[in-house]
Structure 1
Amino acid sequence: MTIDKVLHIIWAISALGLIVLVLLHSPKGDGIGGIGGQAQLFTSAKSAETALNRVTWILAVIFIGFTVILSAGWLSQ
């Protein structure tokens, strides 16, 4: 398995994760609590929303970074 294929797999996983996390965001600020009740994992809705925002930003940076790397053709040399 080449580095190109590994990056494509990570890129696809980050894209799917990003889609799921964006769909979890609630326009009313409910976040994860709006899906099926309050999340037991977090102590408050504010901490759940903060954690969701952080993970979403991390996946967005990974997705955009890998998009630039893969589309530029730097690895195909």
Structure 2
Amino acid sequence: MKLTWYIASILAVSLILINNPKAEGFGGIGNQSQLFSYTRSTQKNLLILTILATSAFMFLTIILTSHFNL
């Protein structure tokens, strides 16, 4: 159960960092800005994945701290 929690936390943090609107994203890495150009549908999908990963992390945090074993 904790392994799932760790994976959800790493996924959530990674997606949040990718979705940061103030950062240049992966475009600042060399000349590879064309590879990581985001369309509106890509941004929407990343937002949905971020919400799901964050929700999974919060749910698992509540389950693990309440000592409720599934």
TM-score in terms of structure 2 length? 0.76
Residues 15 and 59 of structure 1: is their aligned pair in 2 closer, same or farther, counting only changes over 3 Å? same
Q: Structure 1: state its 5+ residue gaps.
A: 1-6
Whether 2:3 is the aligned partner of 1:16: answer no
RCO greater where, 1 or 2, for CA within 8 Å and sep 6 or more? Answer: 2
Sequence identity of aligned pairs in percent?
A: 26
RMSD: 2.5
Give the counterpart letter for 2:15 in structure 1: L
Aligned length: 65
Q: 1:1-20: CA deviations, max 9, x gaps?
A: xxxxxx11111001001111
Matched residue SS, 2:49? helix
With structure 1 as the length reference, what TM-score do the two structures score?
A: 0.70
- Deviation string 1:27-77 (CA, Å, 9 cap, x unpaired) is 25x7xxx4132457xxx61011001001000101100000000000112xx
